[in-house]
Amino acid sequence: MAGPSKSLILDPAFQKYYELNANRYKYFRWTPRHAWLSILYMGIIPGVLTYVAYKTEGKFELRGKRKGDTVSEW
């Protein structure tokens, strides 16, 4: 019923892919493209988001109308 089967045949292409994925760090090489993407995703994008967050902090009132609030506030 359940459990490992003795007649299970593993696909050699999947085995090669799994082996490559497990040892990916051995095949990684820094290239200009890898360096640029790393700088972009670890530096520029978080920096821009932080800058925008600090510049817009407190400028918008995002609280919705609640019971008891007058319509003239909106």
Distance between CA atoms of 7 and 10, rounded to whole angstroms?
10
Positions of the chain with pLDDT under 50 = none
pLDDT the model gives residue 56: 93
Distance between CA atoms of 36 and 39, rounded to whole angstroms?
5
Distance between CA atoms of 18 and 6, rounded to whole angstroms?
21
Q: Kindly report, residue by residue over 20-40, the tens digit of the pLDDT.
A: 999 999 989 999 999 999 999
In contact, 27 and 20? CB cutoff 8 Å: yes
